């Protein structure tokens, strides 16, 4: 089980500062969609250069032109690139094929997919690396979370690894770990805390222990 830090509401210098603080406790750093919109793929490039030992995820939320966008993100240094589960199979296939060529990975984000179970089965057959359940900001605001959806995809996904994102905090993390995702994605649960390092360290401990306890 790995811990991913999602950076959403920062510029490149701020991103570097946050990552520096928690680098020892995370496995993956995500350049969130708002950062890509504000800074472009340069953000991916600079973070990868500054922290070469971390896996860097570019949260492009690709909806079309899968192969082209994966190629550009891979060139910028992304190790994992996101595609939306709500897109068509052709876009996902194009993204997967290009990722294979580039030596990068594809994470499919299931945000706003209506029939999670059925779509997860279909996407799993397309050769993607991760399938991620994700409650977005707007739904978190009305009290929703991804924990139940995680159990659903854990049941049906046979090939891809599973990931969960959306509103995960230190106090809800044990519930997430119980469902045994491969990747736990935390944004504000770390970045919104005063002592980011202490929270990240505690989260890492739970994530790594959670894995040991299940063996």
Domain boundaries, the chain: 2-214
Position 59 scores a pLDDT of: 98
DSSP 8-state code for residue 64: S
Rounded to two decimals, what is the model's pTM?
Answer: 0.94
Give the integer Cα–Cα distance in Å for 118 and 129.
18
What average pLDDT values come out for the chain (215 residues) when binned by 10 residues? 95 96 98 96 98 98 98 98 98 98 98 94 98 76 70 94 93 91 96 96 92 52
Q: Is 180 left (phi over 0), alpha (psi -120 to 50) or beta?
A: left
- Cβ atoms 31, 44 nearer than 8 A: yes
Structure tokens at 138: 């707007």
Q: DSSP characters for 162-199?
A: EEEESS--TTTHHHHHHT--SEEEESHHHHTSSSHHHH
Give the integer Cα–Cα distance in Å for 110 and 211.
24
- Map 63-121 to HEC letters: CCCHHHHHHHHHHCCCCEEEEECCCCHHHHHHHHHHHHHHCCEEEEECCCCCCHHHHHH
Fold for the domain defined by 2-214 = TIM Barrel (3.20.20)
**3-class state of residue 48 by DSSP:** helix
Position 184 scores a pLDDT of: 96
Instruction: Please give the angle made by the CA atoms of 113, 118 and 122, to the nearest 5 degrees.
Output: 95
Taken in order 70, 129, 112, 12, is the CA torsion positive or negative? Answer: negative
Structure tokens at 83: 């595609």
CB atoms within 10 A of CB 67: 18
Instruction: Please give the angle made by the CA atoms of 91, 145 and 212, to the nearest 5 degrees.
Output: 90
């Amino acid at each position: 089980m790995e811990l991913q830090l999602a950076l959403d509401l920062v510029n490149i210098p701020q991103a570097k500062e946050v990552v520096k603080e928690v680098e020892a406790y995370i496995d993956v750093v995500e350049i969130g969609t708002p950062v890509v919109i504000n800074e472009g793929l340069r953000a991916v490039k600079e973070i990868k250069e500054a922290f070469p030992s971390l896996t860097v995820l570019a949260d492009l939320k690709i909806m079309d032109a899968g192969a082209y966008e994966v190629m550009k993100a891979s060139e910028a240094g992304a190790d994992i690139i996101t595609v939306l589960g709500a897109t068509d199979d052709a876009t996902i296939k194009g993204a997967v094929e290009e990722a294979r060529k580039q030596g990068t990975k594809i994470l499919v984000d299931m945000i706003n997919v209506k029939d999670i179970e059925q779509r997860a089965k279909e996407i799993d057959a397309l050769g993607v690396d991760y399938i991620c359940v994700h409650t977005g900001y707007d739904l978190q605001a009305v009290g929703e979370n991804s924990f139940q959806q995680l159990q659903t995809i854990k049941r049906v996904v046979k090939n891809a690894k599973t990931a969960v994102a959306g509103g995960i905090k230190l106090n809800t993390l044990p519930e997430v770990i119980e469902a045994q995702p491969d990747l736990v994605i935390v944004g504000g649960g770390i970045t919104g805390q005063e002592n980011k390092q202490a929270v990240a360290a505690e989260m890492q401990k739970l994530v790594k222990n959670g894995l040991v306890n299940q063996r």
